[in-house]
């Protein structure tokens, strides 16, 4: 089996299902984990699924992914708009990076329209609620398949 796809989640995503459900829906982070595990398995992958409210811990996991992951899916949450340190960690990766958002940041407040993560991401999936994660997994698997085909 190939290396797992890392699915990392930033601050406040532990509150999914109860925090601003009019924006983020009522799906919990545990529900998202189950969706990711099922979709990844169908695509022939496993996932390492984690969430942290701490920037340094996210950076540690991104650095770990350099060797341990086949691809990275990152929902940076608020850190996407503020963290140059996360951008720097992402730039050290040579694996596909898919930025993932439940909501559509471009349709929200102006400060959410751009993320530092996008500067390092291979692609972005946003605005589809929990389905964004499934689409991100499909994109990552597709990128990995394209890489295998060209090798």
**Which residues are catalytic, by number?**
24, 101
Does residue 5 contact residue 73 with C-beta atoms inside 8 Å? yes
Q: CA 89 to CA 111: how far, in whole Å?
A: 22
Joined tokens for residue 151: 């090798």
Cα three-residue angle 97-115-88, rounded to 5 degrees: 60
> CB atoms < 10 A from the CB of 65, how many?
25
């Amino acid at each position: 089996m190939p290396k797992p796809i890392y699915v990392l989640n930033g601050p406040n995503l532990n509150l999914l299902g109860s925090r601003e459900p009019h924006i983020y829906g009522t799906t919990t982070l545990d529900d998202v984990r189950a969706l990711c595990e099922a979709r990844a398995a169908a695509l022939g992958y496993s996932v390492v699924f984690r969430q942290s409210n701490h920037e340094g811990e996210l950076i540690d996991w991104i650095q770990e992914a350099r060797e341990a992951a086949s691809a990275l899916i990152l929902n940076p949450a608020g850190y996407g708009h503020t963290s140059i340190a996360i951008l720097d960690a992402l730039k050290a990766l040579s694996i596909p990076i898919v930025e993932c958002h439940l909501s559509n940041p471009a349709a929200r407040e102006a400060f959410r329209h751009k993320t530092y993560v996008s500067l390092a991401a291979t692609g972005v999936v946003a605005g589809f609620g929990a389905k964004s994660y499934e689409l991100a997994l499909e994109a990552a698997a597709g990128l990995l398949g394209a890489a295998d085909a060209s090798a």
